[in-house]
Amino acid sequence: MRWLDKRDESRPAIHGIAAYKKNMQATRSWQLRVPNETTNLIVDSAASLNHDDFRELTRDASSILVPVLPSSIDIHAASRCIADLLLVAKVDRRDNKLAVVANRTRKNTKSFKMLMRFLDSLGIPIIAVLRDTQNFVHASEQGIGIVEMTPYKVRKDVEQLEKIVTWLDGWKNRRQDPRDTGISRSLSNVTVLHKPNFTTG
């Protein structure tokens, strides 16, 4: 929401909802309403969710992305998160709506190799590998997207983001049910970005 507050009105509009804010003057459903012309909805979930909220959040999602950082703590949290998605939220691997994004990576480091070994072992697609770069920091500070920055500075980052967009746009093909003889299920295009829950103890 801070990023959207910094976004200049001359740029393409992005509607944001601060779901974490409580308004006693309106119902919860009114607070969470989206514009009628919405075609793509991204839900940036809280890291910690109870089982009921977890199931509710993912039930109608066409895509679920789990970002994972290259650290042993993050890998452990991600493994628990994915287990919850499969066992609690009952996400079926055959629906092909679950994927992982390696985030803030530095190639040729031990932590990166450890992360990739872990992700390979999951049997869940790794659709993009985002670099640890100041480009994302600068974009955040200015309220712009990576694709709105100087092209030659962000070429490598845009290549990875395009992989994510291509995967998200292909949700209808990914969700085809063989019993439907090629007709995809009727679902809205909702993406859940679920962050693993970090706990210590």
| Structure confidence by residue, pLDDT tens digits, 142-199 | 999 999 999 999 999 999 999 999 999 999 888 765 444 333 333 457 777 766 765 4
User: Is 164 among the domain residues?
Assistant: yes
- Rounded (10°) angle between helices 110-122 and 72-87: 10
Q: What is the mean pLDDT of the chain?
A: 86
180 within domain boundaries? yes
- Which pLDDT does position 176 carry in this prediction? 60
Residue 7 within any structural domain of the chain: no
Could you tell me where the DSSP H helices lie in the chain? 2-5, 28-31, 51-59, 72-87, 110-122, 134-142, 151-169, 171-174
User: CA-CA distances (angstroms) from residue 146 to 8, 77, 94, 138?
Assistant: 15, 27, 32, 9
For helices 72-87 and 51-59, angle between their N-to-C axes, nearest 10 degrees:
70
Domain presence at residue 27 = no
Of the segments 39-43, 108-112, 113-117, 160-164, which one has the largest average pLDDT value? Answer: 160-164
Long-range contact pairs involving 73-79 (C-beta distance under 8 Å, separation at least 24): 73/198, 74/196, 74/198, 75/114, 75/115, 75/118, 77/196, 77/197, 77/198, 77/199, 78/118, 78/196, 79/118, 79/122
Domain with residue 189: its CATH number is 3.40.50.300
Which has more pLDDT, 185 or 132? 132
The range of the structural domain enclosing residue 159 comes to 40-193
CA 97, CA 45: separation in Å to the nearest integer?
16
| Structural domain count of the chain | 1
| 3 domain-assigned | no
Could you report the per-residue pLDDT of 81-92, keeping only the tens digit for each?
Answer: 999 999 999 998
Residue 170 CA to chain centroid, in angstroms? 15
Edge-to-edge strands, sheet with 190-193:
41-44, 190-193, 63-68, 98-105, 126-131
pLDDT, residue 182, reads 38
Q: Let me know if residue 48 belongs to a domain.
A: yes
- Write down the pTM of the prediction: 0.82
pLDDT above 70: residue 200: no
Residue 17 lies in a domain: no
Q: 65 with 191: CB under 8 angstroms?
A: yes
Structural domain includes residue 80: yes
Model confidence pLDDT, tens digit, residues 27-73: 888 888 899 988 899 999 887 788 888 888 898 899 999 999 998 89
Q: What is the pLDDT of residue 180?
A: 43
Residue type, 168: L
User: Where is pLDDT greater, at 93 or 11?
Assistant: 11
Closest by CA to 115, choosing from 40, 47, 177, 196, is 196
Between CA 125 and CA 129 the distance in angstroms is: 11
Q: What is the pLDDT of residue 189?
A: 72
